Structure 1
């Protein structure tokens, strides 16, 4: 299926563009971040004098490809553009012995130093150096962790997702609120060095594969994750002081894929998961529920080798995943009697007494004129002549009950279905040596995945009825050209294309009698509206995001010119990224209808939990409210551009100084059809209006003639986006000093600029979309007795009697969206990039046993971060009531009987929402009306008082733009990294972090990405009060991977000459494990029933709440994890004194051990067969979700679920063959 406006070019045009980049753009004009390694050093004679014009030759063992360098007048040489691999070096000079060093292993983006001393030629003309290449990094000031192929292959990885190894790096921790599962954003869902999650950059063979998150931008996300079998190794750099890195939060994940060699090598594998190997969930065990069924098969093959030996090489891999997970559905559906209007047997549980009582329903169209209450339906039955035809069909879409359910009839339906996930992916990689000075590398990767779940109820709680297809095409081309021995040019082009439409198998709206306009509101989307009902009844077809459609294309163009001049290694570069994002996620594309108990309960506006039934509402065809979202696809384009220069200056053989300067800027998004808007918060509308309408009571509040500020600007030919921030200069400075042969001191400082908040946005401008409201009544069900028409406005067959309103477009000019919430995405000020200042100082030491330990102080200070929050009181909204004025309305009071303000009890919470004369009425109604918007509240003669007290009274609640870019954070950490090469049959690596992070906003623009959807300020005009410990603070974290080979077996310490049969039994065993321990993260507390307008109300703290039971005990007994009596309601319209996050109240930490046991067989030389058993969360240690943090809930402080991303013990078995 091709989405309208798709950005998918044809394959032919892609190839033409790919070649054109390299034919038309001189490599020296561009620059990129490299994954390749380099070696530099000095050649001297036995007396310590430098040797000029010595020849240094490096040869890759697998391909026999060589590169040669000459020493300059200072005796220095440099070898660059080296793939991560194993090499041999040879150093030659006339009159001197030739020196060879073998087994030099180079990692991703490694800069290593090898110095050689040549002795005069004598009886021996060649010397073989057998010692291993140095483990110490003597050239770079950056901090990071190399994860070699040994760990990629051996460490147990859930679903074989190698991104789990990112957490081995010191300074990397999980994201608050979303768990350690690498679910979304994919590949970047971690916190690094105190930065917000999903801000890292991911590169594959040097090509960028992380793109801005498609919904709201400002975060990174990847759609293509290569198979473990394709990954050679990768490196996590979370203090990358080289100026070639930028446009991210300071962390780069740089991976290298495998390449072919002169010999054919390959592998085949199968890994399977079955529920028989799994443990049950903690709470399922408590409830006596069986563990769910589960099945997963993951299998594939890889092959690499020569196309032409010593010249052209290939590597391919293909992998298939088939996974089935059960969906257990439990719901409350209408009985056969209820479908016929008979509610005489319907029961409900009285929440006050716990008793099961009759569920009485009342006629919303028959009012007792004496009491004002609704009349009961005789015998609790709805007469057939009152049945709504559409409503009857809706009830019959529910499956019939198949269980007796609870005593009150709830949970009378159960069903089991399966969620099927399928994926297929492959990589093709070619390396070609054009000549001794030119090299070409190309890669193409493809993935296709689908998720399908049959529709049963399509209630959002169960995820049945969700269907997605995702297609990814990712490729890269790199050209290396050695212009002369001291000059290397590298050019690269990469592209990432994603096509991901969602779809449903729901019936159409018209099939049950809804009008055709619901099926046509959003072209291409035709399905039944969401039918929402109050709990404990079950909704149907109420799924979020099932209509999402995504097409994105990310182009990245780059090259570099590297110049070796004496002690200097200088790199010049440029990079540009262009991001095209076509996105559509309609807000209820064909509508939603909400049916509440209150519609059929006795008292209008009251609430009796035993009365009213939403199924009765449906049968009557009258709901509480409804709506529809008309949201055209947004077609965005943005780009990032950067220049840099980097000089790695080897001042002395022991001291290297890294100097760099980067200049970058982000060009905020434009929309292809200019369907965006800019909120001008100071713009003069030219309209003066008396907001008091002459009312003395309103005049006493200071309302009167006002010149209205705040207008909307539309794009012009000269201004299609918000202003560009062009002040992003990023100096970098670092050093590495080899204090002793086994000790290096390093440090650095750098400025980075975070991802721009305006890379893309999921919606077009407010005036180009429309949220239509369904009003079942316009007079609060104030019916003339027995006269349905006197109170019901909308019906299910005709939900929009005045027609579905069209988007405004530009017809009102700067007055767009008056009378509505104006939720524009952009303002008129520049979209400034966050400024990130990072620095570190540490020491690295080589210890006996080939163990390298680094101890570093690492810190960063970030400013101009976007404030977070996803709904409600976010800094995007500038139309909020000032807190000083709001606090005046702090005493309980009521509106007058007609809903208007009671000025004798003026300062009350309720009075803010009482009705006053609408000063805008004549602009919406009458002969001089400016606006023709029948669904606006401003058509009414009265509007809520609070609207007039806000700074932009012309809007109904919101006037938004980009979030404020003034948030900040501070991170300090002691980071310990350790790595031991294999010796005595054991190797390990990992990191420990002791840290503290503080901030005033822990989530970015798209807070849903962070799992911190309500990280909102309490008072928008008192943002200083938001400073606290960060949600992502994790005081302690230890992560460690260990590989231990058994010393028993053929060729090993015990049984070196063991016969093959015995070796097949007792030899070749390996145990590998990854250990993860992390402190809990801070809790934030809110109110279950907040009474703070335009703010995220927090409770008052009246004593130290840190006393409480453990998380495990809370989960067992229902006791609170903190002292709930230490909190109090701050009162109406009052801000609580609780901090945004509590440093002394924390969620459950991580205590996890994953273990793999493998047995290796060697059928013949060069072949290996491996059997593996892997267990994740080996000790089945539950990690509990945070407790209920809403003050006022009956379960406040109690734990009732497992943390997101945490699973009980999970087993996986596998077999792997390689040759």
Structure 2
């Protein structure tokens, strides 16, 4: 940086390093002299922030590459900052390779906007990164938890990664990390005579960068690969072979006659078709231990593969600025054991994620800079299984199910007997998801006098493409009553119980030519903004901004969605698809024609987000700065929750069939499943055992108010301290509510069905924008940078409360996505500590360059190394 004025020498400061989104204050002193004279000094890193009230944590390239990272995943470094808490959630299980869910400053784990080089890299369904950038291709990143600049929005928190670029010098690096089981001990469940479960973990790759044309064109190539084969041992319980053959040592009752089977033996001719399939394929192995419980010991090895690739090309255009293009791809495969049977019982998670971007930076004038970005991100995630042989499918002779099911959607049926290991196919296969998004933004910065004006806009258009239809051949996990006196005998005869048999069936209006219920939701986001960083005086800087966050009400491409009808007392679904009315599905009782694609949200035009912050230097030296701010941030609302609004009858039915002792209806066996829906018919109460999921007819704009006040001081030239009070309040947060929960028992309404608010339906999940949250914290951070040591210590004292810690009820204390509140009719009583509430947290990290080698204290003149 240089400054010049007539009658003074040119002042120049070099070696200035700007971190991502950093506003650095550089004070230049002009000395009297000739303009041909230049006084140059070497800059030192600014330790404190004197120009904005924002709060964030920069993780530098040295920390990224030098700090130990299990799996070399940058997500672990997010926990270095104050206010970061690891929590349970769907993020780690449904999006592989991104680590666990993370809450920043009291916000939900889904409230994180991940970016690479300023464009979106967010899986909007879960709030995780899509393509994972290798740490060797990463220059730095910033975790912005209280950023009061109007330039940022879309979510409450921002995590902005900056990729490396090539330079005028050639650089290359190779790496290999290996780990095996040589030094591992056996665990408690390993057999003392069997070999140890294997472990073979390898990570390898490299980076090469340099000029294609000196001073003009630069290239960077990066590859990062992971191969893991992880074994484990376990004990489980399997049925006795004699019992599986129908021969029992106790009395077995025939539910047809009510009399015992002769000799306590069930004739094989009475075995259900499902039992015959299980026995014929040997899905239940014979016990290999003498223990009555845990009579089968086994070991498995599960593979995991990941490939990351990044290429970046930079071009200097001279007076027309600089342009770069980057392409990042991450492929991930992971095998998980779903049931006892290797192969057909395994789930294969396959992810293919891409992120590419073109960016142009142009200094139009000395005081005007324009940045244009165009990017696209895709987050494809599939859960697949091994296809069940068609001959096995035919032998089941199931009715009322999808036919001509292709690979890999044709998973084998799962089987579960109370007290024994599950066998057959895994639950919830097959599922697929993709979220292609276009991201376009333009930002112009204009410095005029004491004002730095930044204005621009961000436009995002994306689609959520989902098909969560699964268990097409049924999940028979409900042999748990003992109608015969034995769970195993129930299984052999096919008498399922109260745990039920679940299946994804075609409704009377299935999607033509499709297996399951593929759907595509449409989203649009447009956010213009203006920001004024005003230097009121040499000590005070005000940051004033206004952002307008417009989001459309999402709609399904083919109108296959619905929402709850609040005006019909027995309960009903408003169906957007007008084609259903002529078919007779809209009968005025269970379903009504909506007449429009989506519910109306009059508040979507009111999404103004003001931002204000300040930085006040208490003295001209600038060693102490008081900073604070307030802002409104409209949060990402939909996530994966909205897709349940299309997962509805009459296209498909999530069937669940149960039986109980002493029921009025005759017992059925699995050979009688599944009842078909009448084409063009309307569901009746007896058939409404499926799960109803809908959107609230009153969508709102979820938002978070954030505020902070703190002080930062440079203690020495290399050490700084910072103390902040931070707070936030969230409103209109998305929640799932089981609106059809039965009321308390009364003699007038003795049965559960009579006590349900909407007797036409079974379980009724409604996604409504009515949640709230509060967060208060005191953060203290001590940072040292200098003399080869980079170290920080962060302490957080916090309290986080909310009505619900995740839209789906996922969290440390909310373990099932379909679980709602203890009392869904009075959700305010569930207000309490968040699932991710942690009162006290301390995190410390350091990187110390040992004083040996070139340029260091010892061995600086040594050669040949």
TM over 0.5: yes
Aligned counterparts, 1:417-432, within 5 A: 417-432=300-315
Between the aligned partners of 1:817 and 1:674, the Cα distance in structure 2 is 27
Does residue 1:628 correspond to 2:503, yes or no? Answer: yes
Alignment partner, residue 601 of structure 2: 723
Between the aligned partners of 1:399 and 1:500, the Cα distance in structure 2 is 29
Structure 1: segments with no counterpart, 5+ residues: 1-88, 214-218, 345-358, 368-374, 602-610, 688-707, 784-790, 869-874, 890-905, 914-945, 1061-1162, 1165-1219
Between the aligned partners of 2:199 and 2:280, the Cα distance in structure 1 is 32
Does residue 1:878 correspond to 2:721, yes or no? Answer: no
Between the aligned partners of 1:425 and 1:497, the Cα distance in structure 2 is 14
Aligned counterparts, 1:644-659, within 5 A: 644-659=529-544
Does residue 1:618 correspond to 2:491, yes or no? Answer: yes
Does residue 1:259 correspond to 2:65, yes or no? Answer: no
**Structure 1, residues 241-281: CA drift from partner, whole Å, max 9, x if none?**
011111212x1111111111111112111112223455777
Give the CA deviation at 1:623. 2.9
Q: Is the 8 A contact 1:677 1:714 kept in 2?
A: no
Between the aligned partners of 1:842 and 1:463, the Cα distance in structure 2 is 57
Give the CA deviation at 1:426. 0.7
Alignment partner, residue 431 of structure 2: 548
Alignment partner, residue 823 of structure 1: 692
Equivalent position SS for 1:660? strand
1:643 pairs, out of 515, 518, 528, with 528
Give the CA deviation at 1:867. 3.1
Between the aligned partners of 1:559 and 1:378, the Cα distance in structure 2 is 82
1:678 pairs, out of 563, 572, 578, with 563
2:677 pairs, out of 796, 799, 805, with 805
Between the aligned partners of 2:351 and 2:132, the Cα distance in structure 1 is 13
Change (3 A) 1:98 1:496: same
Give the CA deviation at 1:825. 1.8
Alignment partner, residue 857 of structure 1: 725
Alignment partner, residue 362 of structure 1: 253
Between the aligned partners of 1:182 and 1:1042, the Cα distance in structure 2 is 32
Give the CA deviation at 1:133. 4.0
TM-score in terms of structure 1 length: 0.63
Change (3 A) 1:680 1:455: closer
Give the CA deviation at 1:383. 2.5
Q: Is the 8 A contact 1:981 1:987 kept in 2?
A: yes
Does residue 1:209 correspond to 2:121, yes or no? Answer: yes
Alignment partner, residue 476 of structure 2: 593
Does residue 1:757 correspond to 2:638, yes or no? Answer: yes
**Structure 1, residues 651-707: CA drift from partner, whole Å, max 9, x if none?**
1222211000111122132111111012111147999xxxxxxxxxxxxxxxxxxxx
**Structure 1, residues 587-612: CA drift from partner, whole Å, max 9, x if none?**
422212245253443xxxxxxxxx41
Alignment partner, residue 652 of structure 2: 770
Q: Is the 8 A contact 1:187 1:225 kept in 2?
A: no
Between the aligned partners of 1:596 and 1:649, the Cα distance in structure 2 is 71
**Structure 1, residues 606-663: CA drift from partner, whole Å, max 9, x if none?**
xxxxx4132x233324333424213411211112221111111111222211000111
Q: Is the 8 A contact 2:742 2:756 kept in 1?
A: yes
Give the CA deviation at 1:111. 0.8
Between the aligned partners of 1:526 and 1:676, the Cα distance in structure 2 is 23
Alignment partner, residue 105 of structure 1: 17
**Structure 1, residues 373-396: CA drift from partner, whole Å, max 9, x if none?**
xx3333322234433454223223
Change (3 A) 1:390 1:167: closer
Structure number with bigger Rg: 1
Alignment partner, residue 508 of structure 1: 389
Change (3 A) 1:819 1:592: closer
Give the CA deviation at 1:864. 1.9
Does residue 1:437 correspond to 2:437, yes or no? Answer: no
Change (3 A) 1:1034 1:225: same
Q: Is the 8 A contact 1:299 1:319 kept in 2?
A: yes
Alignment partner, residue 1190 of structure 1: none
Change (3 A) 1:390 1:1028: closer
Change (3 A) 1:807 1:334: farther
Does residue 1:383 correspond to 2:383, yes or no? Answer: no
2:710 pairs, out of 842, 846, 849, with 842
Give the CA deviation at 1:1027. 2.2
Between the aligned partners of 1:291 and 1:142, the Cα distance in structure 2 is 52
Q: Is the 8 A contact 2:532 2:544 kept in 1?
A: yes
**Structure 1, residues 1120-1155: CA drift from partner, whole Å, max 9, x if none?**
xxxxxxxxxxxxxxxxxxxxxxxxxxxxxxxxxxxx
User: 540-549 or 473-482, which moves further after superposition?
Assistant: 540-549
TM-score in terms of structure 2 length: 0.88
Between the aligned partners of 1:714 and 1:221, the Cα distance in structure 2 is 36
Alignment partner, residue 790 of structure 2: 987
Change (3 A) 1:262 1:853: same
Between the aligned partners of 2:617 and 2:22, the Cα distance in structure 1 is 17
2:102 pairs, out of 156, 179, 190, with 190
Alignment partner, residue 317 of structure 1: 222
Q: Is the 8 A contact 2:112 2:127 kept in 1?
A: yes
Between the aligned partners of 2:486 and 2:648, the Cα distance in structure 1 is 37
Equivalent position SS for 1:105? coil
Alignment partner, residue 615 of structure 2: 736
User: 832-841 or 125-134, which moves further after superposition?
Assistant: 125-134
**Structure 1, residues 155-176: CA drift from partner, whole Å, max 9, x if none?**
0011011111111111111115
Between the aligned partners of 1:389 and 1:676, the Cα distance in structure 2 is 36
**Structure 1, residues 904-940: CA drift from partner, whole Å, max 9, x if none?**
xx36xxx722xxxxxxxxxxxxxxxxxxxxxxxxxxx
Aligned counterparts, 1:514-529, within 5 A: 514-515=396-397, 518=401, 520=403, 527=410, 529=412
Between the aligned partners of 2:726 and 2:189, the Cα distance in structure 1 is 42
Aligned counterparts, 1:140-289, within 5 A: 140-176=52-88, 186=98, 189-213=101-125, 219-249=126-156, 251-277=157-183
Between the aligned partners of 2:686 and 2:560, the Cα distance in structure 1 is 14
Alignment partner, residue 1073 of structure 1: none
Equivalent position SS for 1:436? helix
Change (3 A) 1:389 1:650: closer
Does residue 1:947 correspond to 2:859, yes or no? Answer: no
Alignment partner, residue 1192 of structure 1: none
Between the aligned partners of 1:676 and 1:156, the Cα distance in structure 2 is 47
Between the aligned partners of 2:22 and 2:654, the Cα distance in structure 1 is 57
Give the CA deviation at 1:423. 1.7
Change (3 A) 1:671 1:177: closer
Q: Is the 8 A contact 2:398 2:673 kept in 1?
A: no
User: 754-763 or 519-528, which moves further after superposition?
Assistant: 519-528
Between the aligned partners of 2:240 and 2:753, the Cα distance in structure 1 is 45
Between the aligned partners of 1:773 and 1:239, the Cα distance in structure 2 is 46
Q: Is the 8 A contact 1:295 1:323 kept in 2?
A: yes
Give the CA deviation at 1:563. 1.8
Equivalent position SS for 2:275? helix
Q: How many residues align?
A: 832
Alignment partner, residue 508 of structure 2: none
RMSD of Structure 2 on Structure 1 (CA): 3.5
Give the CA deviation at 1:584. 1.1
Q: Is the 8 A contact 1:188 1:197 kept in 2?
A: no
Equivalent position SS for 2:800? strand
Equivalent position SS for 1:157? coil
Change (3 A) 1:284 1:172: farther
Change (3 A) 1:612 1:523: same
